[in-house]
Amino acid sequence: MKIAPISRELQRRAIPARLIHTGQHFDENMSDVFFRDLGMPAPDVRLGAGGGTQAQQTAAVLVGIEAELLRARPALVVVVGDVTSTVAAALAAAKLGVPVVHVEAGLRSRDWTMPEEINRVLCDRLSDLLLTPSPDARDNLLGEGIAAERIVFVGNVMIDSLHYAVARPTDVLARLQLGPRAYAVATIHRPSSVDTPAALRATLDALAAVAAASDALPGWAATPPRQRGECLRRAFELMTERAEPLARLMVLENGKALRDARAEISYAAEFFRWYAEEGVRNLGSLSVAPAGGNRIMVQHQPVGVSVLITPWNFPAAMATRKIGPALAAGCTVVLKPAKETPLTALAVAQILAEAGVPGGVVNVLPTTHPGALTSAMLADPRVRKLSFTGSTEVGRLLLKTAADTVTNCSMELGGNAPFLVFGDADIDAAIEGALVAKMRNGGEACTAANRFYVHESAADEFSARLAERLSGLCVGPGLEDGVDLGPLVNEDTRSKVASLVESAVKDGSRVLTGGRAPERRGYFYQPTVLDDVPPDAGILGEEIFGPVAPIVRFADTAQAISLANSTEYGLVSYVYSGDLRRALQVAEALESGMVGINRGVVSDPAAPFGGVKQSGLGREGAHEGLLEFTETKYIAVDW
């Protein structure tokens, strides 16, 4: 059968049509040849043909189709092609309340196949009329329980299907009992790699969560700050009441010692209390312009839908440290927890719901396909903020992705914290501080002391006493009584720690205690002290993320500062000295966002947490944390 050009058919029937092509692997010339061969005009819109990963292209297609259909407001949507495009278009059509015609429904082939679960949803729930390309495809649909009156056999896989659906729209419209001037929209996609069902579900879940957050944003942003604060205050109270079961849940998820988990729950809850109080202090300013002719008014408004990505090592505290200021500022959020610790994040979300936070304001998306999910969210123009805590490597990738939509980003990335002990330091205090700075959370913390620089006059005593204390720690399952150090999170982490220690020994370091994994089940590693570590040893350039303390000796203050700053990271530093003047001078010279003087813990909800260099962008906690989720608006006023 010879096909009349689609454009001429549509003009003759006075039915406007808009053609959207989502051929991800076509360049523009190939795309035009493809449509010309089908007797069709060049597409009005091309989606997903740009660069980036498959996940990024898929996300661009999903977001672009919905945006295009919402802009066009068609009365009929014709979907043709692979699972990504057809599902996206059908979901957008459902949102618009218009019928869907699915071309090539029921198709099964080795080269072009749709996951059964997705196909069933598309055919049974989202499509009003199904055009089948073969008797086998028709039988497949009948076998899935699709009513016969919803199925039309139109022949050839691509050519006759498209001709029937687009070039002969009156037949389709008559079957759907629509008027003859309906607006027809076709989405076309050539065969290419099909996303796995799990990755596709992650992408669709991401867009659904963003939509929920976007829908809830106007109401939550308009909620009085005091009312938002009361929700956070109630969340603090509920979290405090449930501290023990939450701590035990956390131990089961990531293995930390129960005492560390209890401390984290207390710390995590404090972010809700702090921002319950801080949210009412989102103060602007009013001043007279220098020329005196007008006033300068400054406001801080909610930035909008915010994507929050948190790590496994502090699954409660990293969630509340982001959710608290976001909600206080009037933003809605989508939280993606680490795949190792989804249950803690879901428990926090449940507490917020019970505290009175409306539906859609806080959305939690656990996933084993973080790439597809995150790419989909960052490609959505409704997302205006990304707050990420994790490795510098992943942070770099996210910044590149966020650049495409110029999304506002806060990054709390890796650390390589130096711990400086000067000759006049109180060694008792320095040992206690080192135990906290190194062994908090088993060393699996971005703030963990990673490199110990000790003045040569104090190094022998410090090394021996630290080794003695670490060797006395009880290693075991986190829920057992008396355990000081639980297992590392997984085998990869333990292997990395073991490899770094072996490398340090080859570089000339001496093992004073530990230095191996115990012979027992689980991802355990013995608390380890390495002495006489060469200043250029490889272990000093890595974030260890384990219970290992490498000790380097230094001769003077200038050398200590130089060694401490010889890293791409700059999150936190620790300084122990009996001379406060020197300690403050050293603190100012250290290239890090935070410095602890004669103390091994710096984290506090009321303090601005964050780093410099490649340890991140922005600050969390304090008033600065609230401002991270706002946009500054300047209003010029005359009076």
Residues involved in catalysis: 412, 446
Q: How, if at all, do strands 17-21 and 295-302 pair? A: unpaired
Task: Please name the amino acid found at residue 269.
Answer: A
What residues pair up with 312 in beta bridges, in sequence order? none
Would you give the DSSP letter of residue 5? P
With CA atoms as reference, report the closest residue to 316 among 374, 378, 235, 385: 235
Burial tier of 426 (Cβ tally within 10 Å: 0-12, 13-18, 19+): middle
Q: How far is CA 504 from CA 338, 476, 536, in A?
A: 30, 25, 10
CA 189 to each of CA 79, 85, 104: distance values in angstroms, whole numbers, following the listed order: 9, 7, 12
Report the amino acid identity of residue 238. Answer: L
Rg (CA), the chain: 30
230 token code pair: 């009361």
Cα–Cα distance between 191 and 82 in angstroms, integer? 7
Q: Which 3 state secondary structure label does DSSP give 240?
A: helix
- What does the alpha-carbon distance between residue 602 and residue 447 come to, in Å, rounded to a whole number? 8
Cβ contacts of residue 373 below 8 Å, gap of 6+? 202, 203, 205, 206, 336, 365, 367
Tokens of 87: 């599902």
CA–CA dist 570, 558 (Å, integer): 18
Residue with tokens 């006059």: 457
Which three-class secondary structure state does DSSP give residue 2?
Answer: coil
Please list, residue by residue across 119-142, b when 16 or more beta carbons sit within 10 angstroms of its beta carbon and e when fewer do.
Answer: bebbbeebbbbbbbbbeebbebbe
Beta bridge partners of 389: 412
- CA dist 97 and 382 (Å) reads 21
Instruction: Give the residue among 541, 540, 538 at the shortest CA–CA distance from 549.
Output: 540
Cβ pair 162, 103 in contact under 8 A: yes
**Nearest one of 211, 4, 201, 209 to 95, comparing CA atoms:** 211
Beta-sheet pairing, 594-597 with 572-576: parallel
Contact 34, 203 (CB under 8 A): no
Take residue 605 and report the two structure tokens written for it: 């909800």
Residues in the chain: 639
**Dihedral of alpha carbons 126, 130, 131, 137, sign:** positive
